[in-house]
Amino acid sequence: MGNADATRSSHHGRRGVVLVLGGTGMLRPAVEQLLREGEQVVVVARHASRAVAGMPEGATAVDADWVRPAEYGQRCRVAVAGREVCSVILWVHQPHRDAVTMEIDPLLTDATRVVRLWGSASGDPRAKAMASHEPRTGDLCDVYLGSSGGEWLTHEQISQAAVTALRGSSRELVVGDLRALP
């Protein structure tokens, strides 16, 4: 087990916080699973307060819109102040993804597991990932989302992939078929 893996394993459950950017739609099942497992989760989205209502204990809602990256980053920093960010799940669309990623860079350590999700509806997700700003530090995994049985993946399938990537050690995870749907 690598150093980042050992550190991440020691954080699993209580010591750090999981930061989920865009966790109120397709990643809601992932947030709920992490909360049931006892994680402390900071959910950042436009309407996070509304979405977190009724979720298991341990969620902190941060209402922020990624179209204002500096404000978004500041709200993230305030929400996690005094706590280590052990993991990040990132679902932010371009053109805002790179700016938001740069804003959260100061929250990351070498041991922070960073999971970036990439949709395939608008083209090759690997090319988008390669052209995008990578976090300055952290243990990165890119998750490429395709289709399943000729249909787009469900929120549950996407969330399960995000949690699998978060708990794993691979640098890449492909879920479904990356060929464009008709």
* Tens digits of residue pLDDT in 64-77: 999 999 999 999 99
The 3-state secondary structure of the chain, one letter per residue: CCHHHHHHHHHCCCCCEEEEECCCCCCHHHHHHHHHCCCEEEEEECCHHHHHCCCCCCEEEEECCCCCHHHHHHHHHHHHCCCCEEEEEECCCCCCHHHHHHHHHHHCCCCCEEEEEEECCCCCHHHHHHHCCCCCCCEEEEEEECEECCEECCHHHHHHHHHHHHHCCCCEEEECECCCCC
CATH architecture of the domain with range 17-175: 3-Layer(aba) Sandwich (3.40)
Domain boundaries, the chain: 17-175
Grade residue 149 by pLDDT with cuts at 50, 70 and 90: confident
Above 70 in pLDDT, residue 104? yes
Grade residue 181 by pLDDT with cuts at 50, 70 and 90: very low
pLDDT of residue 3: 38
Above 50 in pLDDT, residue 122? yes
pLDDT of residue 180: 56
